[in-house]
Chains A and B, each alone.
Chain A
Amino acid sequence: MGIDRVPVGSSARIEAIDDATARRELTRLGFEEGADVEVVSRIPFGPIVLQRRHRQVAIGRELARRVRVTTP
């Protein structure tokens, strides 16, 4: 499923990022395929905020659908 469907406060493992540009950017920022991340916030109709260690990224809702994850 897309990370847009993970409830706020829970963690998920990024399995695949179906967007070449985003995959490259996220890998550089440390949110690569295989990483465990926490969903910190879901801004209504807006971006999803992910956190790993002490670092956060915000990704637009559309893009978040293409970040596929599994939850434990």
Chain B
Amino acid sequence: MTDCHSGPPAAGAAPSAATASQQQEGLVVLAGNPNVGKSAIFSGLSGTYAEVSNFPGTTVEAVTGRWNDRVLIDAPGTYGLGEHSEEERITTELIQRAATVVNVVDAAHLDRDLFLTLQLAESGVPMVVALNLVDEARRAGAEPNASELERALGVPVVPTVAVTGEGLEQLAEAIGRARAGNRSLNGSDDLARRRAADELYARIVPPTDRRRRVADWLSRASVTLHWGAPMIVLSLAAMYLLVGVGVAQHLVGFSEARLGHEIWEPFARNVAGAIGIGGPLREILVGEFGLLTMTVTYIVFLLAPLVAAFYFALALFEDSGFLPRIAALVDRLLSAVGLNGRAVIPIILGFGCVTMGTITTRLLATKREKTIATALLNFAIPCSAQLAVIAALLAGFGGGWVFGYAAIIFAMLIAAGTVLDRMLPGKSTPLLIELPPLRWPRPAAVLRKTVTKGYWFMREATPWFAAGALIVAVLQVTGGLEIWQRLLRPLMVNWLQLPAETARAIVMGLVRRDFGAAGLYEMGLTPAEALVALVVITLFVPCVASIMVMAKEHGARTAIRIWAGTWIVAFAVGGVLARILAWLGAAS
């Protein structure tokens, strides 16, 4: 309450006299636990217009929209108010600024949600409760008594099913009747508030002994090693078939080669020719790395379908409640490299697109964990575009080479993680994660997530891809690319014992990881040479977009360190591997 540094100017409106001076006229804030359908309520109220913004000095995002000429903000999901994490601080601050708070709760899991509800009802801010997912509670035979809750809190309570739109009209009407809750202050006594929440829960939710046999069994089995591990393997295999084979190979194969290279790019060149663009400008706009050719093909015909497919798969994992269970099962593995189970999320995403994974490291608790995860992603995790090329190239030589490649990269992942874990000061945080019940994902919710997350990602990443392509195009026009290639040649030939042309692949790899791998495709390498080259290319620098995102998220210094580190590691490992393979070859 003492500072108002981040309060935006209240657009020409005087703050209402009755409340704190930092309050923002008409501001409606949606607050609730994570994954209760807040964002579905948000889009239901605000329609399509939404703007994502970062809070000053943080990586926490909130979505701002408009509802009936009032500003509507979707606050970050939290289990309570306070000062303990960035999300909590920001939500608390937003609540202090709000004219009205809409507390979205999960009607099927009200016992957890009531903690925050009570905190809000104690805070004195006018509020309404949206009893969301009420259809699910109904099906379980445990629909909360809304009018009893209304009496207990002294605020309007409206049952809703946000994804179908049920109850949204009533909710909109109830916002006009918002009132301050009548709960007495528990202050900072969490335990007293928790007990009050449990007591309230017992009063408003009928006890039910109806058991959902399959769901209950699954909830328990999925967190045991003997059932959970096969489930993970199966679901990841299904995800690979969908994203890796279906989209990355077939769909992108069609969209990139046909729509991109054969239809769009010639069209762009013809247009450029017709309006008389020539010389270096032509090269920069529509040349090999052109802004209108390569960048457009890459972003529209390759990245967009891939990112959409990944977010779709991730939304299925998330909305089914399976993702946190995977986090629990792999916690032990990840703690070996200084991370905890939560880091599985950026890592899975990283296999789709390292840039996407890097952005998602935000959800890790400490800077130390964010740094480790970012470094691992950018060192040793090949993105799907690269994986596809690598798999195609190595599969031709037989399964042994594929296995050898995977083993080397996996060993590097462990080694890099272990070194970072030792090097970085501090300790990693232990895992503490809620495991939501397993349920069928709702198609509408999955679709909305896919579209909004995909859109945000593309919006964030596109300028960086364009900037990277621009740099390379300029290098090519000015002859800088040639010089690079010549400088690298001794390293490639003498140290890695590869043909001289592979230097070109490495230079291409500076821009985009799979370019490097693709460049090797037509060189007629021996299996041993291909293995060395691919290991080097995988460990080698992340693509330009990833570096830009790293610099934005973790500062330029970390980004440069990781970038430089990949040079050393990639060439050191490649050189040693070349010698081991030569020795093995001579021995046999």
Closest residue of chain A to B433 (Cβ to Cβ) is A58
With a cutoff of 8 Å between Cβ atoms, the chain B residues found around residue A34 in the complex are 191, 195
A6 within 8 Å of B (CB atoms): no
B225 within 8 Å of A (CB atoms): yes
Whether A30 contacts B435 in the complex (CB less than 8 A), given A54-B109, A55-B111, A58-B223, comes out as: no
Closest residue of chain A to B437 (Cβ to Cβ) is A54
One digit per residue, 1 when the CB lies within 8 angstroms of any chain B CB and 0 when it does not, for chain A 42-56 equals 011111010101111
Given contacts A55-B436, A61-B332, 6 further A-B contacts (CB under 8 A): A25-B79, A26-B432, A32-B194, A40-B223, A46-B329, A57-B434
Interface pair B332/A46, CB less than 8 Å apart:
yes
B224 within 8 Å of A (CB atoms): yes
How far does the alpha carbon of A22 sit from the alpha carbon of B340 in the complex, in Å? 15
Closest-CB distance, B190 to chain A (whole angstroms) = 5
How far does the alpha carbon of A29 sit from the alpha carbon of B194 in the complex, in Å? 9
Report the 4 A-B pairs with minimum CB-CB distance, sorted nearest first.
A60-B430, A58-B328, A46-B332, A63-B430
Whether A56 contacts B219 in the complex (CB less than 8 A), given A24-B190, A27-B190, A28-B190, comes out as: yes
With a cutoff of 8 Å between Cβ atoms, the chain A residues found around residue B82 in the complex are 24
With a cutoff of 8 Å between Cβ atoms, the chain B residues found around residue A45 in the complex are 332
Interface pair B430/A62, CB less than 8 Å apart:
yes
Whether A41 contacts B431 in the complex (CB less than 8 A), given A46-B329, A46-B331, comes out as: no
Closest residue of chain B to A49 (Cβ to Cβ) is B223
How far does the alpha carbon of A5 sit from the alpha carbon of B195 in the complex, in Å? 26
How far does the alpha carbon of A63 sit from the alpha carbon of B220 in the complex, in Å? 21
B112 within 8 Å of A (CB atoms): yes
Closest residue of chain B to A56 (Cβ to Cβ) is B435
Q: Tell me the number of A-to-B contacts counted with CB atoms below 8 Å.
A: 114
Interface pair B190/A59, CB less than 8 Å apart:
no
Closest-CB distance, B213 to chain A (whole angstroms) = 13
How far does the alpha carbon of A53 sit from the alpha carbon of B434 in the complex, in Å? 13
Residues of B that sit less than 8 Å from A by CB: 79-80, 82, 84, 109, 111-112, 115-116, 190-191, 194-195, 197-198, 216, 219-220, 223-225, 228, 324-325, 327-329, 331-332, 335, 340-341, 429-437
A15 within 8 Å of B (CB atoms): no
How far does the alpha carbon of A32 sit from the alpha carbon of B195 in the complex, in Å? 9
Closest-CB distance, B496 to chain A (whole angstroms) = 39
With a cutoff of 8 Å between Cβ atoms, the chain A residues found around residue B340 in the complex are 60
How far does the alpha carbon of A62 sit from the alpha carbon of B340 in the complex, in Å? 12
Whether A47 contacts B431 in the complex (CB less than 8 A), given A60-B331, A60-B340, comes out as: yes
With a cutoff of 8 Å between Cβ atoms, the chain B residues found around residue A40 in the complex are 220, 223
Interface pair A49/B194, CB less than 8 Å apart:
no
Whether A30 contacts B332 in the complex (CB less than 8 A), given A24-B190, A49-B435, comes out as: no
Contact of B432 among A25, A44, A51, A55 (CB under 8 A): A25
How far does the alpha carbon of A61 sit from the alpha carbon of B340 in the complex, in Å? 11
With a cutoff of 8 Å between Cβ atoms, the chain A residues found around residue B228 in the complex are 43
Whether A41 contacts B219 in the complex (CB less than 8 A), given A58-B324, A62-B430, comes out as: no
Most A C-beta atoms less than 10 A away, residue of B109, B111, B194, B340: B194
Whether A21 contacts B84 in the complex (CB less than 8 A), given A40-B220, A55-B111, comes out as: yes
Closest-CB distance, B284 to chain A (whole angstroms) = 52
